[in-house]
Amino acid sequence: MNESLAATLGELQAQIYWLHDAENFAELASAASTIYMKLGYTQQQAATAGNLISQAYQLSDDAANAQKTGDFDKEMQFYHQAKDKLTEVETTLVYQTSIAIHQMKWWMYFRHRQKLQVLLHLFLQNFKAVGLINLLTAIKLTYFLMEIGRVHKSRNIETTKHNAIQYWAELLKIKPPQYPYLG
């Protein structure tokens, strides 16, 4: 496992959360693209994935705004569009197992403050990508992502980075056939 790579990926992942909060979607796309370049994808795949991830974040924000206005149908429409963007990321990266639905659902449940549903879909996103043989890793990845969300919410960037680095260090140990991370 390359500790330097885990540190770089963790810092980029933490940066994405702050870029999302700042609504700096161009930089968010660039950071996501850099993650995939570092993971060995082509420049074209990485750029496409980064742009799609940025668009998915924007659609999830549109869904959150629809939720605030009480427009459930519009909210779900935006979440499904976000899922479609994440599915395009999977296609671009030639993923064999679809995990986009779980990313979209944990985003939605996070905004709806349904912690058990968030936990379930974070776990399923990781588990489906790394497989039964890596069950313990999937549990650890879920824990680190829950911690990232918790400390990010309290605006603690250093602890967010630390947890993101731990996430990548754990993930890179197993060299999965596909990565559960989609932004």
pLDDT at 1 over 80: no
What is the per-residue pLDDT for 50? 98
Domain definitions of the chain by residue range: 3-174
What is the per-residue pLDDT for 2? 79
Q: pLDDT tens digit string along 34-69? A: 999 999 999 999 999 999 999 999 999 999 999 999
| Cβ burial 39-54 (10 Å sphere, 16+ → b, else e) | bebeeebbbbbbbbbb
Q: pLDDT tens digit string along 110-152? A: 999 999 999 999 999 999 999 999 999 999 999 999 999 888 7
- Does the pTM of the predicted model rise above 0.75? yes
Whether 82 and 56 have beta carbons less than 8 Å apart is answered as yes
Rounded CA separation 161/140 (Å): 16
